């Protein structure tokens, strides 16, 4: 089966075979007047099963291309096993046959054998040596593209499941969600730590903001000794602090050190989990199925009948009713949100239950997180209707939907950062000054949650821009 994989680096596999309904993005009015019953302008009149097949094949090809880029970057967490003709043997002890998720067969060695903090050996013998230059930016971009394609394939299988083979779709969706979530955890912890450290500096009145922490093996974790007024990971070339409140207080510095220790530990565990996942047979099975998806989309009897040569008395299956159902689910979920309260600045609703001893996430955040997921499903359904290419999926999306999605992403990030600050404050035997700094940080992030809700309702209630 592995020998049937497409090679994204070869011209024949850089894009799926041309489809009459998936060659270009649709035109027309902006896509996404979702709150008012408009399924999104932009889908073409021939949004049928062929468009769905073309979209899925394009995303599968993008998935394979991202795997190849991820392997060739040769750095950091989540290096994928060898994809393509493997001629080099790895250095790890766990050599095994890999159903390479790119092209042809591949033999990778020691995909989960770490050679240091954040590095591992093997994967076609292309990296792991001391002279291998790190390229964390390329690795992060490839991992992001991999998650992006996996999310779109999974969402499309969910929205248009009646047209696809039911057993195959039900089996693929949780596997793609597992892969995307596993690869996202390390980046999420790194971003959360960066967000909290920057907030500590901002709340302390310091201008020496910490530099962004790269997601790769070049990250160095340091611990601030007690009494040292410096936040970890602040480079020596940072901007000089102000004369009045130049340095962090002892409490803020210790709070930063505590957060660094906890989130760096969580990030290291996520790194190890990603390495184990990408070297597992479960990942190889997912890669095999995605590789086959790039050449053949399993359709249901309804979908196969629509994709076949239509008879004069047979109407093609329209994708728009299924996309409209996804839109209606989103509209109903948004209607259940307290948008009136969120539209009032400084309403302090996000701070309710802020002193609760329950470590569980805020129950009021769950509906907003659900709307975020439904909004993503709606956007991807519009992309499938428009037949957007894998690299141009955002070009035809309504800016209102993009702004609303960005606000909900900020909402999720702030809520998770507030939970991390609260969890750190529950650490036994910490100094009162440290606990106070963490409490202020928690309240600040809950205010960010409130601001994100305000931004969402402001974007959602805007009238969509319609072009003549």
Q: Is the dihedral of CA 414, 419, 420, 424 positive or negative?
A: positive
Give the Cα separation of 301 and 466 in Å (integer). 38
Element (H, E) at 200: helix 166-204
pTM over 0.75: no
Dihedral of CA atoms 286, 289, 295, 297 in degrees, nearest 10, equals -120
Q: What is the pLDDT confidence band of residue 2, given thresholds at 50, 70 and 90?
A: very low
Give the Cα separation of 337 and 50 in Å (integer). 36
Q: Half-sphere exposure of 332 toward its Cβ, with a 13 Å CA cutoff?
A: 6
- Please provide residue 367's backbone torsions phi and psi, each rounded to the nearest 5 degrees: -60, -35
pLDDT digits (tens, 9 = 90+) for 425-460: 999 999 999 999 999 999 999 999 999 999 999 999
pLDDT digits (tens, 9 = 90+) for 61-81: 999 999 998 888 764 444 444
Q: What is the pLDDT confidence band of residue 183, given thresholds at 50, 70 and 90?
A: very high
Structure tokens at 315: 């109407």
**First-to-last C-alpha distance (Å) of the chain:** 50
pLDDT digits (tens, 9 = 90+) for 95-136: 333 333 333 333 333 333 333 333 333 333 333 333 434 345
Give the Cα separation of 418 and 41 in Å (integer). 38
199 and 187 in contact (C-beta within 8 Å)? no
Nearest to 372 by CA among 464, 462, 270, 455: 455
Give the Cα separation of 327 and 61 in Å (integer). 27
* pLDDT at res. 280: 93
**CA of residue 168 relative to chain centroid, distance:** 23
Burial of 356 (0-12, 13-18, 19+ CB in 10 A): exposed
102 and 3 in contact (C-beta within 8 Å)? no
pLDDT digits (tens, 9 = 90+) for 246-291: 467 889 999 999 999 999 999 999 999 998 998 899 999 999 999 9
Give the Cα separation of 226 and 256 in Å (integer). 11
pLDDT digits (tens, 9 = 90+) for 378-408: 999 999 998 754 445 455 567 889 999 999 9
What lies within 8 Å, CB to CB, of 405 at 6+ separation is 372, 375, 376, 379
Give the Cα separation of 348 and 428 in Å (integer). 29
* pLDDT at res. 209: 53
Give the Cα separation of 257 and 262 in Å (integer). 9
User: In sequence order, what are the beta bridge partners of 31?
Assistant: 397
pLDDT at residue 180 above 80? yes
Nearest to 375 by CA among 349, 401, 355, 347: 401
- Residue 181 is given by DSSP the state H
Nearest to 136 by CA among 186, 181, 92: 186
Give the Cα separation of 42 and 26 in Å (integer). 5
Q: What is the pLDDT confidence band of residue 20, given thresholds at 50, 70 and 90?
A: very low
- Please provide residue 119's backbone torsions phi and psi, each rounded to the nearest 5 degrees: -130, 160
* pLDDT at res. 305: 59
* pLDDT at res. 352: 84
């Amino acid at each position: 089966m592995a020998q049937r994989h497409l090679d994204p680096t070869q011209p024949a596999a850089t894009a799926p075979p041309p489809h009459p309904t998936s060659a270009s993005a649709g035109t027309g009015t902006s896509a996404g007047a979702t709150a008012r019953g408009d399924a999104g302008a932009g889908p073409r009149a021939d949004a049928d099963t062929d468009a769905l097949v073309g979209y899925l094949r394009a995303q599968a090809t993008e998935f394979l291309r991202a795997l190849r880029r991820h392997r060739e970057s040769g750095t950091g967490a989540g290096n994928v096993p060898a994809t393509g003709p493997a001629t080099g043997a790895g250095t790890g002890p766990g050599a095994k046959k890999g159903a390479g998720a790119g092209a042809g067969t591949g033999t990778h060695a020691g995909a989960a054998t770490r050679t240091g903090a954040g590095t591992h050996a093997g994967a076609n013998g292309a990296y792991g040596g001391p002279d291998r230059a790190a390229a964390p930016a390329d690795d992060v971009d490839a991992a992001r593209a991999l998650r992006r394609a996996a999310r779109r394939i999974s969402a499309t299988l969910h929205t248009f499941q009646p047209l696809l083979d039911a057993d195959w779709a039900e089996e693929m969706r949780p596997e793609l969600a597992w892969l995307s979530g596993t690869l996202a955890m390390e980046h999420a912890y790194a971003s959360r730590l960066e967000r909290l450290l920057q907030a500590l500096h901002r709340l302390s009145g310091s201008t020496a903001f910490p530099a962004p922490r790269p997601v790769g093996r070049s990250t160095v974790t340091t611990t601030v000794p007690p009494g040292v007024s410096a936040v970890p990971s602040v480079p020596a070339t940072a901007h000089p602090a102000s004369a009045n409140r130049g340095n962090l207080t002892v409490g803020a510095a210790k709070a930063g050190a505590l957060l660094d220790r906890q989130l760096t530990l969580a990030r290291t565990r996520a790194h190890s989990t990603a390495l184990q996942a990408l070297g597992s047979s479960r990942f190889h099975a997912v890669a095999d199925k995605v590789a086959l998806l790039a050449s053949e989309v399993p359709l249901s009897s309804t979908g196969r009948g629509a994709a076949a040569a239509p008879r004069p008395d047979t109407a093609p299956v329209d994708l728009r009713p299924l996309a409209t159902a996804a839109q209606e689910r989103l509209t109903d979920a948004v209607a259940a949100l307290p948008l009136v309260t969120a539209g009032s600045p400084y309403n302090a609703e996000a701070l309710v239950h802020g002193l609760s001893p329950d470590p569980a996430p805020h129950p009021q955040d769950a509906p907003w997180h659900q709307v975020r997921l439904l909004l993503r499903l709606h956007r991807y359904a519009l992309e499938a209707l428009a037949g957007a290419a894998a690299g141009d999926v955002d070009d035809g999306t309504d800016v209102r939907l993009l702004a609303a999605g960005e606000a909900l992403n900020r909402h999720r990030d702030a809520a998770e950062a507030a939970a991390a600050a609260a969890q750190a404050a529950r650490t036994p035997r910490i100094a009162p000054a440290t606990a106070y700094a963490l409490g202020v940080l928690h309240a600040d992030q809950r205010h960010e949650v409130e601001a994100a809700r305000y931004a969402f309702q402001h974007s959602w209630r805007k009238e969509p821009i319609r072009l003549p």
